[in-house]
Structure 1
Amino acid sequence: MPSSLVEYPCNRLFFRDDRVVRARDGILRYCGLNPSLTELLDVAVHRYAGRVAVEEDDGRALTFSQLWTSAARVAGGLKERGVEIGDRVAVRQPVGLRWVEAFVGVLLAGGVPVGVSPALDDTQTGKVIEDSASVLTLDGDLPEGISYIDDGAGPEELVLLSYAPDSSGSLRGVELSNENLLSTIESVVHARGFGSEGLRNLLVDPELHAIGSLIELLSTLVVGGTALLTTNRDAASWRGTGADVLTAAPDVLVRAAEDARATRFVRGSVRWIDYRGSGLPADQARLLRRTFPDAKHFLCWGMTETCGSGLALPDECALTHAGSVGIAFGGMEVALFGPDAADGYGELLCRGPGVMRGYWNRPEATAKRFTSGWFHTGDTARIDGNGFVRIVFGDIAP
């Protein structure tokens, strides 16, 4: 039987956002976005100047104003070192304030940050730096100079080069535009119902070089929240943070749910728990619900190529649809490809404002992953009649 491409309608009962409209190219897009990530952050800085933006384990913190000032000086230092508009700059810093200063500093200099995982060895790091043609690597003291802020970027311009492994394990750069990041941030903030009252989001062991963790950070900052960065997975250490949002990998949350010390903490303060993955078994979903009874549960699925987002399991469906990664949201649409696509089984395809521009310097690889504007995720999935997606098994893409 020949393969076919079958589109599946979005479930309109959850995450509805009237700002999303279909553009002339057929893609659902957000209306009224800021033209660039830099401008969106600038709005937050001026609105929440005195609030704490980022805080580390040891209590060191930066207000929004302090972060902007220090990042602008980093940008000035980068300009003095010859960084031009659109130049790639590798960011290889440990998780903490300096990583955020470096990332924002590259943006303010008009450069394109290239996140480099600290887990990569020197050979792998060298390959990323060489492939991206990064003109500078920020892996030690940050440069400082006269404050500089570039704000001339447009929605379609490259704002981030994020490296992810292909099916063979080789790293390749994923081009993400301002529109990709801005749309994803808007969708996450809307879906979670984040307000501007000043939430405190505890990001447990975040991999800030990866797009999923970065979106968590940025979604917190744009609503005037505080990103609490910790590499400590011991739930007992979280009790004094005052966090009302807990963001962690599913296995970390499950271990915390089994820890009586964490249970006392989360029952009293946590209003949201956020995690990513390909679905939770029913027993783990029930455990998290018992441990976090008053919190909204937000499971998100995404790939680097979809800006780390695209599907989410609504809070009210965490138990009834355990094992599912949820429904498309934020302008994302889904389809299945294969001989059984009409029966709800096949390769998962995505289309939306968060889908990448393409692979860096790999036009052939890019072309292979798109069919009529649909991105081939390489994941096999089932989609039911209500639009809920269940990942069946892993990567099958070229």
Structure 2
Amino acid sequence: MPSIADRLHLHATTRPDAIALRTLEEAITYGELASRSCAYSHLLRAAGIGAGDRVLLVAPTVPEFAIAYLATQYLGAIAITMNPMAVAPEIGYVLDDSDATAAVVWHETRTATEQAASRRALPVLRLAPGVGTESGTPATAPVQRRDDDTAVLLYTSGTTGAPKGVQLTVANLLDTARIFSTQLRLTPDERFGTGLPLFHVFGQAAGLLTALHTGCSLSLLSPFQPRAMLELIREHRLTMVSGVPTMWNAMLHDAVDFGPDDLRSLKLAASGGAALPGEVIRAFTQRFGCTILEGYGLTESSSAGTYNPLDREQRVGSVGIPLPGTALEIRDPDGTVLPSDAVGEIFLRGPGIMKGYWNRPEATAADLVDGWLRTGDLGRVDADGYVYIVDRAKDLIIRGGYNVYPSEVEDVLYRHPDILEAAVIGVPDERYGEEVAALVVAAPGSAPDPDALRRWAKERLSAYKVPHRFAFVGELPKGATGKILKRAIDPARFPELSARADHS
């Protein structure tokens, strides 16, 4: 009968003085992390939270995120982790859909969460530096759960429809952390670091939980800044860092006065979230003497799927081979398994595959077929078993490592009285890899202003989802049924979509 907090409790018992979490300002030992998490679990219990209850957690990549997250696991509750940039309507949707019992929010970004929670008469607990130190409560053993109990609920909308809650189980997350720890050959002496958001599955499963499983230290940076990340690597003598392509590219271009000696402790850089250009991998290796290894996974697979192994050739452009215990197939639209180098949809099966979508039996049945996850991504596998991603899920935009789902943005744009039709697409961007762009057909008699539309959308969407580039057109391409055909849109025909825009 396991718990996500079991490894924390083990290390706190056997190695209480070992460093668990670090920032540039503080260090927290395993003993302190367990005591503070346990103390915070008592506050959650006092707020009426028990085993199986859903608790919304909205916080950046700070130690207090880990404390509150682990506190939910001490109770046997379900953590719903969400972007601190989310606005009140987005938070309200998740609170309603999950039937959450309470919300926990970082003190500096509390307004939207408190607004959404107050409208639903839900209690809100604020997180602030030092939380969990007030009572000095000794750590007790976490509540034990079944392997298939839901431990975390992460909301993602795929590429169509309203956001769905991905149920990741106790076994999903424990197995994923164990696999990554083994695959990366991590030891308790490792000094792990990341600027990834912990609310996201990559930072959470492949970062926080993997470090806790190993018993090594994890250095956190929030918000991510390229120079600050380089300084963190140097000052904490990090041996491993995880990030997304935009982070590696930003560090490479910001490292004017950094060289191999500054990063000599760094043995491994792990990248995921989007395809990493080969030139960035080569330049990073040449500059710092450290290779970036790519992997592939989804929220629905607990971030796990494939990874470039340490003991085999790294092939630039490949996301590696399936992780131990994971099977991968490339299938055609009829479900037939395709041979080497043929392009088709990627299917995954393994210990990280989700339990299903929260209260969405039809969506679960559509995406889980006989234990196989339909990823919606197109790829191929070469004769040696290396996997290559040919295209992301249809229409999905990846802006700076964050998934932006066009249908969600379009739904908001269609609420504007001056917009008749809208199609949201991704366009290349030097800084973020992709930028969110919108082609708009104005309502008769109206002349929408791009800056005004951006401001309007920012009140209803997280900043990274807001279209920063607009093109106004007379009509959008459509198929016989009237469906807008995004694949028929050529962004090159619209110079305004290529112009640099305000990224704020």
**Alignment TM class, shorter chain as reference:** 0.7 to 0.9
Tell me what 1:46 maps to: 13
1:176-214 per-residue CA deviation (whole Å, 9 max, x = no partner) reads 011101111111011111112x2221212x211111101
Distance in 1 of aligned mates of 2:103 and 2:263? 43
Tell me what 1:218 maps to: 209
Tell me what 1:157 maps to: 149
Alignment of 1:287-298 (within 5 A): 287-293=283-289, 295=290, 297-298=292-293
Tell me what 2:328 maps to: 334
Partner SS for 1:202:
strand
> Would you say the 8 A contact 1:267–1:292 is kept in 2?
yes
Partner SS for 2:376:
strand
Question: Does residue 119 in structure 1 map to residue 85 in structure 2?
Answer: yes
> Would you say the 8 A contact 1:175–1:358 is kept in 2?
yes
Distance in 2 of aligned mates of 1:232 and 1:303? 22
Tell me what 1:391 maps to: 389
Distance in 2 of aligned mates of 1:97 and 1:279? 29
The percent identity for this pair of structures is 24
Shift of 1:164: 1.7
Q: Which amino acid aligns with 2:62?
A: G
Shift of 1:348: 0.3
Tell me what 1:56 maps to: 23
TM-score (norm 1): 0.84
Distance in 2 of aligned mates of 1:35 and 1:149? 11
Distance in 2 of aligned mates of 1:253 and 1:232? 11
Tell me what 2:166 maps to: 174
Q: Which amino acid aligns with 2:300?
A: E
1:277-335 per-residue CA deviation (whole Å, 9 max, x = no partner) reads 34433322211221342x4543221100000111001246665x211111101311011
> Would you say the 8 A contact 2:3–2:73 is kept in 1?
no
Tell me what 1:323 maps to: 317
TM-score (norm 2): 0.67
| Structure 1: unaligned runs, 5 residues or longer | 1-33
Tell me what 1:249 maps to: 244
Q: 1:375 aligns with which of 373, 376, 388?
A: 373
> Would you say the 8 A contact 2:294–2:318 is kept in 1?
no
Distance in 1 of aligned mates of 2:184 and 2:293? 7
Question: Does residue 201 in structure 1 map to residue 198 in structure 2?
Answer: no
Q: 1:86 aligns with which of 52, 56, 64?
A: 52
Whose radius of gyration is greater, 1 or 2? 2
Distance in 2 of aligned mates of 1:266 and 1:381? 37
Partner SS for 1:300:
strand
Tell me what 1:11 maps to: none
Question: Does residue 70 in structure 1 map to residue 70 in structure 2?
Answer: no
| Structure 2: unaligned runs, 5 residues or longer | 108-125, 396-406, 408-504
Q: 1:192 aligns with which of 184, 187, 191?
A: 184
> Would you say the 8 A contact 1:311–1:326 is kept in 2?
yes
> Would you say the 8 A contact 1:297–1:318 is kept in 2?
no
Q: 1:176 to 1:349 in 2, by over 3 A?
A: same
Number of aligned pairs?
360
Shift of 1:257: 2.8
Q: Which moved more, 1:307-316 or 1:360-369?
A: 307-316
Distance in 2 of aligned mates of 1:174 and 1:396? 19
Q: 1:134 aligns with which of 100, 105, 110?
A: 100
Partner SS for 2:64:
helix
Q: 1:266 to 1:317 in 2, by over 3 A?
A: farther
> Would you say the 8 A contact 1:39–1:151 is kept in 2?
no
Distance in 2 of aligned mates of 1:296 and 1:153? 39
Shift of 1:225: 1.3
Q: 1:314 aligns with which of 289, 306, 309?
A: 309
Distance in 2 of aligned mates of 1:299 and 1:262? 23
Distance in 2 of aligned mates of 1:76 and 1:273? 38
Distance in 1 of aligned mates of 2:261 and 2:18? 24
Distance in 1 of aligned mates of 2:251 and 2:39? 40
Shift of 1:169: 6.6
Cα-Cα RMSD: 2.3
Partner SS for 1:213:
helix
Q: Which amino acid aligns with 1:272?
A: L
> Would you say the 8 A contact 2:307–2:323 is kept in 1?
yes
Distance in 1 of aligned mates of 2:7 and 2:103? 25
Distance in 2 of aligned mates of 1:266 and 1:309? 31
Q: 1:132 to 1:149 in 2, by over 3 A?
A: farther
> Would you say the 8 A contact 2:295–2:306 is kept in 1?
yes
Shift of 1:273: 1.0
Tell me what 2:437 maps to: none
> Would you say the 8 A contact 1:116–1:209 is kept in 2?
yes
Q: 1:65 to 1:325 in 2, by over 3 A?
A: same
Partner SS for 2:344:
strand
Q: 1:283 aligns with which of 279, 282, 291?
A: 279
Q: Which amino acid aligns with 1:38?
A: A
Distance in 2 of aligned mates of 1:202 and 1:379? 29
Partner SS for 1:263:
coil
Partner SS for 1:251:
helix
Using CA pairs under 8 Å that are at least 6 residues apart, name the structure with larger relative contact order, 1 or 2: 1
1:102-126 per-residue CA deviation (whole Å, 9 max, x = no partner) reads 1011111221111011121111011
Q: Which amino acid aligns with 1:244?
A: T
Q: Which amino acid aligns with 1:382?
A: R
Partner SS for 2:79:
strand
> Would you say the 8 A contact 2:12–2:34 is kept in 1?
yes
